[in-house]
């Protein structure tokens, strides 16, 4: 059973218990999400779901590895895919999660972090303990994400970096303009997700006393809402095709480099998400930066069928929303000469 089906089944259970459709409030969202993640099948399903590494996932990992340093806390660590990469890089990591099953999988890794079962809303640590605090794919599940961010900042040392990602509201808004309706993301408990404009995150961050020291829009292919809106019923087949092209490692590296190089100069609505690195008190830019796939040998563009196929698929989904992509496509192909 896929994560979506699992969510739906649990939603039915919630629905029966409440006797009526539960209202979408910060409390009901939190109760529902926390129940779903602690259900018996969630950990193994999730582990399976993240086994296929997309360019977006690789970018997140590169950013965590590029910016995290010293003693690290991973909040909502899940199966520990970020924690274990950081441990493998020689860094001491503490992973917290609400789900004991998730933590069991995280502990079983060859590069296991120290694990503790805890809520992100009440971290069981004194103030200013960690040099870096990371959290991926957690904040977007909650209305009350600023409460989690506030906890992450509380346990971070003054010099610390706090790293997370958020879903891009511009991606959703533009997609809704294409389809003419706003039903791309279900407005019920099981479909609830937070989408925010970058400025909204910036203003919450400032209110919490921190500053953004680095950010990047990214992620063209993980259920990108522009692609979904443009392609309509063809979207599912398109997604299968693009995912199979992205199983090719050179193709994945090509798109990591493409996103890092081109997305900053393209309309921000194209990106599904953005990454944010906060400085608590230290707002100096870091010298260490995430890998950009710079070393990608350009001749592979021509000789890798998966890349050529993925570029055609990319244009099919995105060029109607952003005509300048066709020129970019020609530019990328010219590099292959």
**218 lines the binding site for ligand SAM (CB under 6 A):** no
**Of residues 121 and 235, the one with the C-beta less far from ligand SAM:** 121
Q: Is 285 exposed, middle or buried (0-12, 13-18, 19+ CB in 10 A)?
A: exposed
Give the 3-state secondary structure of residue 120.
Answer: coil
Cβ burial 166-200 (10 Å sphere, 16+ → b, else e)? bbbbbbbebbbebeeeeebbeeebbebebbbbbee
**319 lines the binding site for ligand SAM (CB under 6 A):** no
Report the half-sphere exposure of 301 (CA within 13 A, side-chain side): 19
- CA dihedral sign of residues 198, 67, 52, 85: negative
**50 lines the binding site for ligand SAM (CB under 6 A):** yes
- As a whole number of angstroms, the distance between CA 47 and CA 104 comes to 12
**119 lines the binding site for ligand SAM (CB under 6 A):** yes
Which of 62, 97, 151, 219 is the binder for ligand SAM (CB under 6 A)?
97
Strand partners, 74: 95, 134
**94 lines the binding site for ligand SAM (CB under 6 A):** no
Q: How many residues touch ligand SAM (CB under 6 A)?
A: 18
Stretch that binds ligand SAM, among 18-26, 30-38, 236-244, 304-312 (CB under 6 A): 30-38
**255 lines the binding site for ligand SAM (CB under 6 A):** no
Which of 137, 218, 255, 269 is the binder for ligand SAM (CB under 6 A)?
137
**328 lines the binding site for ligand SAM (CB under 6 A):** no
As measured in angstroms, the least distance from the Cβ of 241 to ligand SAM is: 25
Stretch that binds ligand SAM, among 31-39, 197-205, 263-271, 313-321 (CB under 6 A): 31-39
Work out the angle between the directed axes of helices 100-107 and 26-38 (0-180°, nearest 10): 50
Q: By the 8 A CB rule, do 230 and 321 touch?
A: yes
**120 lines the binding site for ligand SAM (CB under 6 A):** yes
**Of residues 50 and 169, the one with the C-beta less far from ligand SAM:** 50
**136 lines the binding site for ligand SAM (CB under 6 A):** yes
- As a whole number of angstroms, the distance between CA 248 and CA 250 comes to 6
DSSP type of residue 137 = S
**Of residues 151 and 332, the one with the C-beta less far from ligand SAM:** 151
Q: What residues line the site for ligand SAM (CB under 6 A)? A: 33-34, 37, 50, 76-78, 81, 97-99, 102, 119-121, 136-138
């Amino acid at each position: 059973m896929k994560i979506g089906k699992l969510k739906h089944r649990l939603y039915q259970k919630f629905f029966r218990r409440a006797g009526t459709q539960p209202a979408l409030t910060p409390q009901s969202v939190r109760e529902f999400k926390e129940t779903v993640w602690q259900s018996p099948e969630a950990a193994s399903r999730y582990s399976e779901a993240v086994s296929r590494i997309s360019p977006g996932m690789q970018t997140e990992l590169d950013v965590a590895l590029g910016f995290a340093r010293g003693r690290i806390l991973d909040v909502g660590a899940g199966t520990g895919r970020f924690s274990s990469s950081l441990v493998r890089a020689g860094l001491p990591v503490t992973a917290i999660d609400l789900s004991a099953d998730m933590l069991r999988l995280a502990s079983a890794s060859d590069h296991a972090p120290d694990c503790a079962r805890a809520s992100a809303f009440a971290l069981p640590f004194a103030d200013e303990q960690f040099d870096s605090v990371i959290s991926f794919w957690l904040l977007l599940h909650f209305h009350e994400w600023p409460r989690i961010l506030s906890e992450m900042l509380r346990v971070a040392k003054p010099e610390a970096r706090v790293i997370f990602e958020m879903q891009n509201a511009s991606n959703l808004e533009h997609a809704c303009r294409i389809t003419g309706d706003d039903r791309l993301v279900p407005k019920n408990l099981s479909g609830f997700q937070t989408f925010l404009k970058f400025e909204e995150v910036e203003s919450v961050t400032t209110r919490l006393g921190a500053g953004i020291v680095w950010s990047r829009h990214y992620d063209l292919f993980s259920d990108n809402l522009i692609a979904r809106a443009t392609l309509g019923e063809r979207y599912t087949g398109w997604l299968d095709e693009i995912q199979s092209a992205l199983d090719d490692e050179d193709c994945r590296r090509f798109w990591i480099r493409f996103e890092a190089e081109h997305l900053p100069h393209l309309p921000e609505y194209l990106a599904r998400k953005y990454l944010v690195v906060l400085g608590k008190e230290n707002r100096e830019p870091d010298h260490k930066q995430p890998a950009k796939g710079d070393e990608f040998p350009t001749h592979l563009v021509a000789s890798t069928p998966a890349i050529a196929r993925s570029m055609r698929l990319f244009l099919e989904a995105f060029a109607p929303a952003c005509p300048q992509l066709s020129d970019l496509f020609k530019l990328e192909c010219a590099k292959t000469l």
